[in-house]
Structure 1
Amino acid sequence: MIHPLLAAYDAQLRTDAETAHALSSTVSGPLRMAVFPGGRGFVSSAALQDADAAQIAALVEMVVEHFGAQEGITEVEWKTRGHDRAPGLVEALTVHGFVAEEPESIMIGEAGVLAQEVAVPDGIRIRRARTDADVWAMEEMQGAVFGDPHWKVRAETTMQRLRADDDVELWIAEADGRIVSAGRLEPVGGTEFAGLWGGATLGDWRGRGIYRALTAERARSALARGKRYLHSDSTEFSRPILERSGLIKVSTTTPYVWTPPAD
């Protein structure tokens, strides 16, 4: 039997919510295909269990043609889930040049459980990031932690979202004015969920409870906004921390990435 938290995830989040901030979005059959800033393509589906391997192979070919015909696409991510029944999907993605990245854990929990008091280490200040300077410094730190060469594009996009009074919240932890940890809270409109994204802590500052404190602050904010659940796609760095905070691993997600051939 599917876990109730996973059932809520499938019903509420595998919808237009996944592409709410895309520059453009197209629905074709069971697929959602979107383009985000920086030329990043994205593909997701609600379910593929009613398709056979031949039909799924045709869907993958259609996606490659769809994004291949667009200028400025730098990469395309197909978001797969470990609990899906999708016969032949991995094989079709591989044949068409998609490369698997590291699997991540789909973590979900009650916001009320995570909104606990966590001791903040001496010298650490946790607050909302609201200015362009805050955003730039936060994204630069996260880019360094994740080895992300596109962090400047993400910084510009995030600043635009804040200027437009987007619901996204940015939370940072500072030591002597330097950002040492950060993460986003993204309430998902029309659902009971808010997402925990972008969690990153500089190596020298890990293991001190800073990220747990950031998670608790975001959980309290989510509750104040009427959200019941928190969810996150977590690496092995953040999964144990989120489990200690009260989130549960309900499945996995593996991104398969396709890079358009050079002209």
Structure 2
Amino acid sequence: MDRDTTLARYDRQLRRDARPDGPGVRVEHTGPVVRQTGPAHAWNGVLWSGLDGLDAAAVDAVVTDQIHHYTQHDLPFEWKAYGHDAPADLPQRLLAAGFAPDGEETLMAAETGRLDLDVVLPDGVELLPVTDEAGVRMVVEVHDRAFGGDSSRMGRHLLDRLAADPDTVAAVVALADGEPVSAARLDLVPGTDFAGLYGGGTVEGWRGRGLYRALVAHRTRLAAAHGHRYVHVDAAPTSRPILHRLGFTTLTTTTPYVYTPAGDVRSVS
């Protein structure tokens, strides 16, 4: 897989030409920025910013415009900055404007037809497709236990998407003797080469037993069946070595910079 070619396709198809990822959500092209705005439980933020060539004052003005847009709707939001984005000092400018950085992740991708998908589940574990509210509750339970915090907003957005357009999202829960112990989501973007792997989480006590690999393989098979050439993932440091062994290639880094309106303690998921 050619890294530069794949990254350019990713930028064009999923960032510059992004489409809404759920009901009640709109994607807006305003000046050099592509952003998504929706309900409070949806993902709100900047997907793309073509700031290359702008002087410092112009960059700061674009950042201020985005803050004004989301704060007038009382929405916390992310500016999703990638390691190859311009200008090079964009992270410092976001920090100066009041954004807080979340953990850096690694954008990785693989061709669906080239991955080793022959992964065996541990004894007593079965995969359950998530199609209804009961399944979404299990996803939320796993994420709360695996990552800490409150994943209810993510669950509400997932339920909205399953109800409105089930062909654009798939979720799966791993059950061990009926108990949900791992869960993950697949975002399918019709008309693009890419499908996204999100939210792969496993509860303590079941980590290191192959469930993460099994969920990656399961979702990759679904992506291939829907005609997607690539799967991509924002990998945490703990996931990166596993994905490398499976055949994923590092494209760049990505860091969410989060802006929270004064007095608003909601997190952006």
**TM-score, L = length of structure 1:** 0.91
Shift of 1:138: 1.1
User: Shift of residue 111 of structure 1?
Assistant: 0.8
- 5 Å-filtered alignment, 1:71-220, equals 71=74, 73=75, 75-114=76-115, 116-149=117-150, 151-167=151-167, 168-220=169-221
Distance (whole Å) between structure 1 residues aligned to residue 28 and residue 5 of structure 2:
29
Residues 105, 235 of structure 2: 8 Å contact kept: yes
Q: How does 1:28-43 map to 2 (within 5 A)?
A: 28-38=30-40, 41-43=44-46
Q: How many residues align?
A: 260
Residues in 2 aligned to 1:65 and 1:27: alpha-carbon distance in whole angstroms: 16
Structure 2 alignment gaps of length 5 or more: 265-269
Give the distance between the partners of 1:197 and 1:106, measured in 2 at CA: 12
CA distance in 1, matches of 2:212, 2:222: 15
Q: CA deviation at 1:46?
A: 4.8
Q: Using a 3 Å threshold, how does the CA distance of structure 1 residues 219 and 64 change in structure 2: closer, same or farther?
A: same
8 Å CA contact retained: 1:184, 1:198: yes
Residues 156-187 of structure 1, C-alpha deviation per residue, up to 9 Å, x if partnerless?
22122212242211112110111111111111
Structure 1 partner of 2:51: 48
Counterpart CA distance in 1 for 2:17 and 2:95 is: 26
Identify unmatched segments of 5+ residues in structure 1.
Answer: none
- SS in structure 1 of the partner of residue 219 of structure 2: helix
Higher deviation after alignment, 23-32 or 117-126: 23-32
Residues 171 and 114 of structure 1: is their aligned pair in 2 closer, same or farther, counting only changes over 3 Å? farther
Matched ranges for 1:1-40 at <5 A: 3-17=4-18, 19-21=20-22, 23-38=25-40
CA pair 48-181 structure 1, distance change in 2 beyond 3 A: same
Q: Which amino acid aligns with 1:50?
A: G
| CA distance in structure 1 between the partners assigned to 2:173 and 2:198 by the alignment | 12
Which letter does structure 1 place at the counterpart of 2:251? V
Matching residue's letter, 2:32: P
RMSD of Structure 2 on Structure 1 (CA): 2.0
SS of 1:217's partner is helix
**Equivalent residue number for residue 223 of structure 1:** 224
- More moved, 38-47 vs 219-228: 38-47
Q: Deviations over 1:69-103 (max 9, x none)?
A: 224x2x11100000122143222211211011110
Distance 1:260 1:182, change over 3 A: same
- 1:224-262 Cα deviation digits (max 9, x unpaired): 111110011111122222222111111000111111113
CA 2–178 in structure 1, closer or farther in 2 if over 3 Å, else same: closer
Q: Does the aligned pair in 2 maintain the 1:37–1:153 contact within 8 Å?
A: no
Runs of 4 or more, structure 1, over 3 Å off, are none
Alpha-carbon spacing, 1:223–1:41, altered in 2? closer, same or farther (3 Å): closer
Q: Return the letter of the residue paired with 1:159.
A: L
> In structure 2, how many angstroms separate the alpha carbons of the residues matched to 1:10 and 1:230?
14
Deviation at 1:18, TM superposition (A): 5.6
Q: Is this contact kept in 2: 1:184–1:199, CA < 8 A?
A: yes
Is 1:25–1:32's contact at 8 Å kept on the other side of the alignment? yes
Match of 2:267 in 1: none
After the TM superposition, which of the residue ranges 2-11 and 174-183 deviates more from structure 2?
2-11
CA separation of 1:19 and 1:253: change in aligned 2, threshold 3 A? farther
